[in-house]
Amino acid sequence: MNKILKAVLPIAGLGTRMLPATKNLPKELLPVFDKPMIEYAIKEASEAGIEDFVFITGKDKEVLQDYLNKKYLSDYTFGLENRPTKTKILKKNDLKPYNITFVRQEEPLGLGHALLCAKNIIGSEPFCLILPDMLPKGDPGCLSQMLEAYNTNKGNVIGLEKIPMEDTYKYGIVKISNKKNNVCKIDNMIEKPRPENAPSDLMIMGRYILQPEIFDILEHQNPGHNNEIQLTDALITLTKTQKFTGMIFDGKTYDCGDKLGYLIANIKYSLDGETNNPDIRNTLLNLMQTLEG
Ligand code: G1P
């Protein structure tokens, strides 16, 4: 079996739903509570065993390259060696010794086109595709859950999550069969259908394990929804010849490319785990009472 070691992370999007914050700041650097959004994706992937990260970048993303510069992070930031607590925070969030490649997407022609930019670097191996503005909160992480499904089913695996029917127009939606527990067969997909045309209420939630044959299809893919080269259209073609498994994520995904999703993610992460802070909880509860009163 091929171990999955490479991940592609498209970060070339213009972040238009988050304007004006994203006017010239990459949305992937916006903090979710106390860490930039991108760090959650990196942590999730490295916990799943990913060693090679391929970022598809675009306009105004250079600052993200500096952020991901490991040496700069650990040794040179603001002379923090004299301030032990701050150094500890950076070290804790520090990035493992993995390999990073940046590929420039010259024009924003869609997710399918962004992925195609990684063709030569990925080569002939299966790989993960991670959309970092979709933030899945779960334990184990979403990609780790998906790898378990991949090890049993091989082929291609797509992360899925139930959403309210009225939101189907925002996401790729799947048609499934043979559902057993959280795993199912994907029969078809449609990009951003209106609720009346949606085959289910299961969205493609931004995590994929794909076979390299997707690149041959993407090379000939015509523009689809929104006149963009859609990954979903290429995936539909690949379903004709390869197995597609859906894994319903055991957790909750926050759409951080959207102002409401981003706000909720900030609240959830501020209340959880290591960051759990009673002052924040109490302040939020008081705020709720003020709103109700
Ligand atoms: C892309 C995919 C879509 C998926 C979504 C998740 O859309 O095309 O199928 O549901 O990501 O965020 P985009 O957000 O690039 O419009």
Segment 190-214, tens digit of pLDDT: 999 999 999 999 999 999 999 999 9
Specify whether the CB–CB gap between 242 and 141 falls below 8 A: no
pLDDT at 118: 97
Distance in Å, CA 287 to ligand 1 centroid: 33
All structural domains of the chain with their residue ranges: 6-292
- Mean pLDDT, all residues of the chain: 89
| pLDDT computed for residue 76 by the predictor | 46
Q: Is residue 191 lining ligand 1, measured as CB closer than 6 Å? A: yes
Q: What are phi and psi of 106, to 5 degrees?
A: -70, -35
Contact status, residue 110 vs residue 223, Cβ threshold 8 Å: yes
Name the burial class of residue 264, with classes exposed (0-12), middle (13-18) and buried (19+) by CB atoms within 10 angstroms of its CB. middle
For ligand 1, the distance from its centroid to the CA atom of residue 121, given in whole angstroms, is: 23
If you search the block for the tokens 């197995």, which residue do you land on?
243
Residues of the chain with pLDDT under 70: 1-2, 70-97, 273-276, 293
Residue 151 token pair: 């090890």
- Residue whose Cα lies nearest atom 14 of ligand 1: it is 171
Residue 230: phi, psi to the nearest 5?
Answer: -90, 130
Asked whether the CA dihedral 184, 11, 172, 35 is positive or negative, the reply is positive
Q: Which helix (H) or strand (E) holds 279?
A: helix 278-292
CB of 206 closer than 6 A to ligand 1?
yes
User: Judging by DSSP bridges, how do beta strands 6-10 and 127-130 pair with one another?
Assistant: parallel
* Residue in 171, 205, 207, 236 to alter for ligand 1 test, most ligand atoms within 8 A of Cβ: 171
Q: What are the CA-CA distances from residue 263 to residues 180, 187, 258, 270, 288 (Å)?
A: 34, 34, 9, 11, 15
**Residue 172 beta carbon below 6 angstroms from any ligand 1 atom:** yes
Among 257, 208, 203, smallest CA distance to 32 is for: 257
Which fold does the domain 6-292 belong to in CATH? Spore Coat Polysaccharide Biosynthesis Protein SpsA; Chain A (3.90.550)
If one residue of 56, 169, 191 were mutated to test the ligand 1 pocket, choosing by the most ligand atoms within 8 A of its CB, it would be: 191
pLDDT for res 197: 96
Which pTM does this prediction carry?
A: 0.91
- The finding on whether 134 has its CB within 6 A of some atom of ligand 1 is yes
The CA-based diameter of the chain, rounded to the nearest angstrom, is: 60
Distance from the alpha carbon of residue 291 to the mean position of ligand 1, in angstroms: 34
Please indicate whether residue 18, judged by its CB atom, sits closer than 6 Å to ligand 1.
no
Q: Which residue from 111, 133, 190, 225 has its CB within 8 A of the most atoms of ligand 1, so it is best to mutate?
A: 111
Whether omega for the bond prior to residue 20 falls within 30 degrees of 0, making it cis, is: yes
Tell me the residue type at 161. E
CA nearest neighbour of 202 among 176, 230, 236, 181: 176
Is the distance from CB of 68 to CB of 127 less than 8 angstroms?
no
Q: CB–CB of 254/265 below 8 Å?
A: yes
Q: How many Å separate Cα 49 from the centre of its chain?
A: 16
Rounded to the nearest whole angstrom, what is the distance from the C-alpha of residue 290 to the centroid of ligand 1? 37
User: Who contacts 96 (Cβ-Cβ below 8 Å, separation ≥6)?
Assistant: 46
Strand, coil or helix: what is 11? coil
Contacts (Cβ under 8 Å, ≥6 apart) of 156: 208, 209, 210, 211, 214, 235, 238, 242, 243, 244, 245
- The predicted pLDDT at position 293 comes to 62
Output the CA angle 240-167-254, nearest 5 degrees.
95
Residue 10 CA: nearest ligand 1 atom is 15
Give pLDDT, residue 13: 84
For the Cβ of 111 lying below 6 angstroms from any atom of ligand 1, the answer is: yes
Mutate to test the pocket of ligand 1, among 131, 134, 167 (most ligand atoms within 8 A of CB): 131
